[in-house]
Chain A
């Protein structure tokens, strides 16, 4: 559908004569300049170059809307602005020559992939020990599920002082998590219990992607409604 040619009632004045604009029609000079700068982006097509009476603050309103739009967009895109570490300390014990701290996600832990991080520190100085090997073992405390384990590494951790591994917990219930740290002949073990809840529904992980199309469709419907309204009112479609 071809756009209706709209006869504007505001900034069109400015394309002809600056003096005409400033002489009492309420534009800020910045607004007039920005209009001209935007012309190159084809915004000017909405504003034929002929002089018409200037109603006042129409142009400012467009920029107010732009700011509102930008802030709304920032609000919607807010989740991109942070990436949290967010673990909680499950156990922190002095064991042998080490202080061992175990971190996992906060409760409830779900029966799926669990990210476990371990910090090994020197028992006396408290300095982080980076060359220890850390083996993690998960064993069920109240069922016959088999025990399994994985080696934690610095590569898998975001915080490189820690060593991390992803453990796939297969079942709901109480599990015991054992971390064994070794450096040369030195060895220490820390044990902690975990209560594992049923896995989160798959939908919980993918709902943002499923909501995206309805959201975009709703925005598009609004766009079309505003466009129709603008066409009927004879306001310019763009600024």
Chain B
């Protein structure tokens, strides 16, 4: 193939958002179509699926193929692109009758709860009727087609990418409208008689003919951009214009007149009135023929097998154990430069990023593969683990303290750039797990001590997967409760989570012991609505109600505020401000100021803001006094899992609303670690090569310390970070709103109660935006 042709054909550009949107639409349609086809294969034959997917594929081709790249140089290419957007993709999409499959393909809650009220909105209904009226549809298409081909408008689109997008959107949307009455996608009903449609199409062809004739017979180039552009084909600009007009004329007429002929023949056919299948058919299906099986990760191919395998978890733990030992070894004996050391690259660039991405995308998979479990097992075999963890320490307060200490130490002692200290911490972690579980039974380290675990426990309340029972009826008939007690083959849950009463991922290490112990195979890893467990407040197995657990609320606040503090400490303005202050007060180091910063950010600011929000909410909402409001008090648990309980409802408000900030905090953590992952993505391989070369293993090759750019451009990365933060804020606000409506069902009372908490969330969000817009200090994270 000639090089030029090769270059032309390789001029594809993948628009990420459009590609994602179209893939999502295809997936939703496919899901809905499969369900509908199981019910009524005659109504949704395969050709409908084919049409819809082909329409989407052609739409994507129009905006991603070389047609787009050459659109500003060659009018013919631009014309073909427009024809795809106007007369090819829209009718194919409508032939798929997309309304019902898309609706059915949505998750149940989205279709029922989220869309339901809008579908019943009279205004939208009238709008739908008006927009799909044939007169409006025809006028919209004609105005768009003629308007955008006026030279001034066309030139504007060629000069400005933004207007070019608007032009394409106009073409596509008005064409969807134009083809609507022609195809009349099921189950819509025609607003005008069908015999009118051939006339409608003929009138459409008149517009197309006028325009294409004008392009063909004009004796000058109508669009100056094409005169000024370099000639990359054998056609002169005027010839190019004539060719574009001819293509438009031929393809457009074919698209308008072909359906007009087909429709006319159909209408004149004697069987026209009996095309609709008999109604009895529609009622003949049995709903049980098709019942959706909820997604279960344990039943997924490959991953499910690995998770169910007897030694699947152990294998994951050994992989991480090897990596942890490598971190310790390299940290103790390797080079002092963090970016060249496994103790710098693995835990801080890859480890925490992957753990948080797993939390956001799936669940608490770090705890599942946690290497610190292995020395625990070793210690347990010594037979000394006979004691129970001290009653006074059976809360999360110790872990809260350790977590604050860890975040402070991370900044104060620059753990990310001192491999020796990183190695020491990992080694200390092994020692801590070994010691605690050697002397105390029942996974005391995981449940009460491990700060990383607590971070993941709280974060996993946002995760979309949960270890839960598949059918509650099966549990009702179970007398052995093996998931909790275990049996001769398999121990039960060491964290005392009784599955039928377990709600959410709190305290769940994804160890899957319960799954292996259940004799009924009634436990799976099932999807849940992210954040659902912040809204509900049932009595949870081994935890009680969240509303009675200020320790868990404190954990949530540490997670949320540390996300912003940790990211802020990285940015140049904060670092220079700290250094200037240290210089001004003649401090030898920045340690006292860093300590002060973290004291303020992780202790004083949360206490002050949350205190104000509680007081403000109570004053504004008058939760206690107003008889109109539903009492927030609920029956106390006899065990008193989290304190005396005299402080309610202030304490209950504190506990419930604090948890609502977790999604925002986790989103900020996600935005933060994504930056490190995408800018330092190339670090581990040369570091691993260096480490193995130091050990005398040469088969991985010698390291090439080449400077790679970030995996994504700065703008794309910022866009993803901002979207993450937006999603976190919205989920936090939604959770807060639902909690508020639980306290006070009336809208205004809920708003007053919720207002101060929304202000706290908005403040955190604003600070997060500011941090993301600042230049980052390159603190050894990038070579």
Residue positions of A touching B, CB distance < 8 A: 1, 18, 22, 28-34, 36-43, 45-46, 60-72, 74-75, 77-89, 92, 99, 101, 105-106, 119, 121, 126-128, 130-131, 154, 158-161, 202, 205-206, 209-210, 212-213, 216-217, 220, 222-224, 226-228, 230, 235-239
Residues of B within 8 A of A39 (CB): 287
Interchain nearest-CB distance for B133 vs A (Å): 11
Q: Does B169 lie within 8 Å of A205, measured CB to CB?
A: no
Q: Is residue B409 contacting chain A, with contact meaning CB distance below 8 A?
A: no
A92: chain B residues at CB < 8 Å are 228, 230
- Report whether A74 and B285 are in contact in the complex, using a CB–CB cutoff of 8 Å: no
Chain B residue numbers with a CB within 8 Å of A45 are 112
Name the CB-closest residue of B to A158.
Answer: B13
Rank and list the top 6 A-B pairs by shortest CB-CB distance, nearest first: A68-B128, A238-B116, A78-B169, A84-B164, A82-B168, A30-B187
Point out the residues of chain B lying under 8 angstroms from A32, CB to CB: 279, 282
Q: How far is the CB of B732 from chain A (nearest CB, A)?
A: 10
B215 interface residue per 8 A CB criterion: no
- Complexed CA–CA distance, A32 and B35 (Å): 17
A217 and B102 CA atoms in complex are apart in Å by 24
- Cβ-based interface call for B131 (8 A): yes
Decide if A64 touches B128 in the complex (CB within 8 Å). yes
Q: Which residue of A lies closest to B157 (CB)?
A: A84
Q: Which of B73, B230, B773 contacts A99 (CB 8 A)?
A: B230
Q: Is the CB of B112 within 8 A of A80?
A: no
CB closest chain-A residue, reference B60: A81
Query: Measured between C-beta atoms, what is the minimum distance from A81 to chain B in Å?
Result: 5
| Residues of chain B contacted by A236 (CB below 8 angstroms) | 116, 120
Closest to B101 in A: A37
Task: Give the shortest distance, in Å, between A49 (CB) and chain B (any CB).
Answer: 12
Shortest CB–CB separation between residue B616 and chain A, in angstroms? 20
Contact B132 A67 (CB under 8 A): yes
Show 19 residue pairs from A and B whose CB-CB distance is below 8 angstroms, ordered by the A residue: A40-B287, A64-B129, A65-B121, A68-B126, A68-B129, A70-B99, A70-B102, A72-B127, A74-B176, A82-B167, A83-B161, A84-B72, A158-B11, A209-B723, A212-B726, A213-B729, A223-B118, A238-B111, A239-B116
Q: A80-B21, A81-B85 are in contact. Are A106 and B159 (CB under 8 A)?
A: yes
Interface centre among A34, A60, A235 (most CB of B within 10 A): A34
Find out whether the CB atom of B112 lies under 8 angstroms from the CB atom of A82.
no
Contacts of B577 in A (CB 8 A): none
Max chain B Cβ within 10 angstroms of own Cβ: one of A89, A101, A220, A238: A238
Docked complex Cα distance between A80 and B225 (Å): 25
**Which residues from chain B sit less than 8 Å from chain A, CB to CB?**
3-4, 7-8, 10-11, 13, 15, 17-18, 21, 35-36, 39-40, 43, 59, 63-64, 66, 68-73, 85, 98-100, 102-104, 106, 108, 111-122, 124-129, 131-132, 157-162, 164-170, 172-173, 176-177, 180, 186-189, 225, 228-232, 276, 279-280, 282-283, 285, 287, 290-292, 715, 718-719, 722-723, 726, 729-730, 733-734, 741-742, 745, 747, 765, 769, 773
Do A62 and B173 contact each other (CB < 8 Å), given the known contacts A83-B64, A84-B164? no
Say whether, besides A63-B187, A83-B63, A128-B7, A238 and B113 are in contact (CB < 8 Å): yes
Task: Take A28-B187, A71-B176, A209-B726 as given contacts and tell me if A86 and B124 are in contact as well, using a CB distance cutoff of 8 Å.
Answer: no
- A67→B10 contact, CB < 8 A: no
**Contacts of A160 on B, CB cut-off 8 Å?**
7-8, 10-11, 69
Cα-based distance from A142 to B116 in the complex (angstroms): 62
In the assembled complex, the Cα of A191 lies from the Cα of B43 at a distance in Å of 64
Say yes or no: B103 contacts A38, CB within 8 Å.
yes
Residue of A nearest to B36 (CB): A37
A81-B85, A85-B71 given; 7 more Cβ-contact pairs under 8 Å? A40-B292, A43-B112, A82-B63, A105-B161, A158-B69, A160-B11, A238-B115
Say yes or no: B282 contacts A29, CB within 8 Å: yes
A96 CB, nearest partner CB in chain B, Å: 16
Indicate which residue in B36, B103, B186, B292 contacts A66 across the interface (CB closer than 8 Å).
B103
User: From residue A231, how far is it (CB to closest CB) to chain B in Å?
Assistant: 9
Bound complex: CA of A206 vs CA of B13, how far in Å? 23
Q: Which residue of A lies closest to B227 (CB)?
A: A89
B128 touches A86 (CB 8 A): no
**What residues of B have a CB within 8 angstroms of the CB of A82 in the complex?**
18, 63, 68, 164-165, 167-169
Q: Which residues from A are CB-within-8-Å of B173? A: 71, 74-75, 78
CB contacts (< 8 Å) of B162 on chain A: these are 84
Asked if A67 and B128 sit within 8 Å, CB to CB, the answer is: yes
A150 to B214, CA, bound (A): 44
Give B745's nearest chain A residue, CB to CB. Answer: A1
Chain B, interface SS category: helix
**Contact across chains for A34 and B160 when beta carbons are under 8 A apart:** no
CA–CA, A237 to B729, complex, Å?
27
Which A residues are CB-close (under 8 A) to B18? Answer: 80-83
Closest to B39 in A: A37
Q: How far is the CA of A43 from the CA of B36 in the complex (A)?
A: 14
Query: Which single residue of chain A is at the shortest CB-CB distance from B38?
Result: A40
Inside 8 A of A230's CB, which chain B residues have their CB? 117, 120
| A81-B59 in contact (CB<8A) | yes
A30-B278 Cα distance, complex, nearest whole Å: 10
A89 and B131 within 8 A (CB): no
Closest CB in chain A relative to B172 CB, distance in Å = 5
Pairwise interchain contact B11-A161, C-beta atoms closer than 8 A: yes
Inter-chain contacts of A154 with B (CB < 8 A): 7
Assess whether B104 is in contact with A86, with CB atoms less than 8 Å apart: no
Q: Are A42 and B108 in contact (CB under 8 A)?
A: yes
Residues A36 and B112 in contact, CB atoms below 8 Å apart:
no
A235–B7 touching, CB < 8 Å: no
A65: chain B residues within 8 A (beta carbon): 118-122, 124-125, 128
Would you call A206 and B722 a contact (CB within 8 A)?
yes
| Bound: A222/B285 CA distance, A | 37
Q: Name the A residues within 8 Å of B232 (CB-CB).
A: 119, 121, 128, 161
Tell whether, in the assembled complex, residue B160 and residue A83 are in contact, meaning their CB atoms are under 8 Å apart. Answer: no
Q: Give the residues in chain A near B158, CB-CB below 8 Å.
A: 86
Q: Within the complex, what minimum Cβ distance (angstroms) separates B695 from chain A?
A: 37
Report B371 CB to chain A, min CB distance, Å.
Answer: 38
CA distance A3 to B165 in the complex (A): 42
* B287 cross-chain contacts in A, Cβ below 8 A: 39-40
Q: Is the CB of B769 within 8 A of A210?
A: yes
- Are B119 and A33 in contact, with the CB atoms below 8 A? no
Measured in the bound complex, the distance between the Cα atoms of B742 and A108 in whole Å is 53
- Contact residues in A for B66 (Cβ distance below 8 Å): 159
Of the candidates B70, B279, B723, which one forms a contact with A29 in the assembled complex, judged by CB atoms under 8 Å apart? Answer: B279
In the docked arrangement, what's the CA distance between A41 and B35, Å? 9
Q: How far is the CA of A85 from the CA of B111 in the complex (A)?
A: 37
B120 x A83 contact (CB < 8 A) = no
User: What's the minimum C-beta distance from A42 to chain B, rounded to whole angstroms?
Assistant: 5
B128 / chain A contacts, CB cutoff of 8 Å = 63-69, 71
Question: Closest CB of chain A to B129's CB: distance in Å?
Answer: 5
| Cα distance A34–B97 in the bound complex, in angstroms | 11
Contacts of A40 in B (CB 8 A): 35, 39, 104, 287, 290-292
Nearest CB in chain A to that of B725: its residue = A209
* Chain A, residue nearest B281 (CB): A33
Given contacts A71-B131, A237-B117, is CB(A80)–CB(B726) below 8 Å? no
Assembled-state Cα–Cα distance A95/B729 (Å): 56
The distance from the CB of B719 to the nearest CB of chain A, in whole angstroms, is 7
Measured in the bound complex, the distance between the Cα atoms of B125 and A224 in whole Å is: 18
Residue of A nearest to B131 (CB): A71
Are A30 and B189 closer than 8 Å at their CB atoms? yes
If A30-B186, A212-B726 touch, does A41 touch B111 (CB 8 Å cutoff)? yes
Cα distance A46–B120 in the bound complex, in angstroms: 12
Please indicate which of the listed interface residues A28, A39, A160 has the most CB atoms of chain B within 10 Å of its own CB.
Answer: A160
User: Closest residue of chain A to B723, judged by CB?
Assistant: A209
Chain A residues with CB under 8 A of B124: 65, 68-69, 72
A217 to B754, CA, bound (A): 14
Question: By CB atoms of chain A within 10 A, which of B121, B173, B230 has the most?
Answer: B230
A85 with B68: CB separation less than 8 A: yes
Complex Cα spacing A25 to B168, Å: 42
Given the complex of chains A and B, what is the CA–CA distance between A70 and B729 in angstroms?
26
How far in angstroms is the closest Cβ of chain B from A46? 8
